[in-house]
């Protein structure tokens, strides 16, 4: 039987692979189209996801090594870096940054998966990688520590015909 952390990490890998398959096929004009996130182009969504992966990898690394969690200045520096990149680098950068993050989670041994607590900076306390929140007995109940699955396709505006597009910002039901 797999642990909660194992299930989350498996979902992270599956979500990454699903989105990466679409991102690899995007052309420059696709990256400039509107996304499912109001007022953002597809490349800006990928920049958001890539910078988030970079920040989360730093938080994971800090938790593993006992270093202080990344602070707001670190986050702002990451966001400034990603904001300055051209659209094609948002896509390539997302693929690389998110792969590094997923690989880092996959590399955690069972003991670390069960005990590690990660300070994400915006929660009132560090998030546990291997435990369910108190009061949640059912393994089928969604919890705050389980990742939401998001559609891995990006809306390009034209919904009348086939495209490599759908919605990044639309949550799906957990599988």
Band of the pLDDT at 157, cuts 50, 70, 90?
very low
**Of 11, 4, 40, 30, nearest to 165 (Cα)?**
30
The mean pLDDT of 102-121, rounded to a whole number, is 90
Kindly report which listed range (59-63, 110-114, 128-132) carries the lowest average pLDDT score.
128-132
Give percent of the chain with pLDDT exceeding 90.
Answer: 56
- What pTM was estimated for this model as a whole? 0.74
Residue 133's alpha-carbon distances to 3, 126, 128, 136, 145, in angstroms, are 14, 12, 9, 6, 7
> Does the pLDDT value for residue 30 go beyond 70?
yes
Band of the pLDDT at 1, cuts 50, 70, 90?
low
**Of 79, 98, 80, 91, nearest to 31 (Cα)?**
91
Residue 23: what pLDDT?
95
Residue 143: what pLDDT?
34
The mean pLDDT of 2-14, rounded to a whole number, is 90
The residue that leads in pLDDT, 32 or 37, is 32
Pick the CATH number of 4-123 from 1.20.120.450, 1.20.1740.10, 1.10.10.10, 3.40.50.300: 1.20.120.450
Length of the chain equals 175
């Amino acid at each position: 039987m797999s642990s909660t952390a194992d299930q989350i990490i498996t979902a992270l890998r599956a979500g990454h692979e699903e989105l990466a398959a679409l991102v690899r096929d995007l052309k420059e004009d696709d990256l400039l189209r509107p996304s499912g996130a109001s007022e953002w182009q597809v490349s800006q969504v990928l920049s958001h996801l890539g910078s988030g992966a970079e920040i989360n990898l730093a938080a994971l690394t800090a938790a593993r090594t006992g270093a202080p969690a990344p602070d707001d200045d670190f986050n702002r520096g990451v966001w400034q870096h990603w904001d300055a990149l051209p659209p094609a680098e948002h896509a390539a950068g997302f693929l690389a940054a998110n792969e590094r993050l997923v690989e880092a989670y996959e590399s955690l041994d069972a003991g670390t998966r069960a005990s590690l607590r990660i300070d994400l900076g915006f929660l009132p306390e560090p998030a546990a990688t291997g435990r369910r929140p108190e009061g949640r007995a059912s393994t089928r109940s969604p919890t705050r520590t389980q990742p939401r699955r998001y559609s891995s396709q990006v809306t390009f505006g034209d919904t009348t015909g086939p495209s490599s597009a759908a919605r990044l910002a639309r949550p799906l039901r957990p599988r």
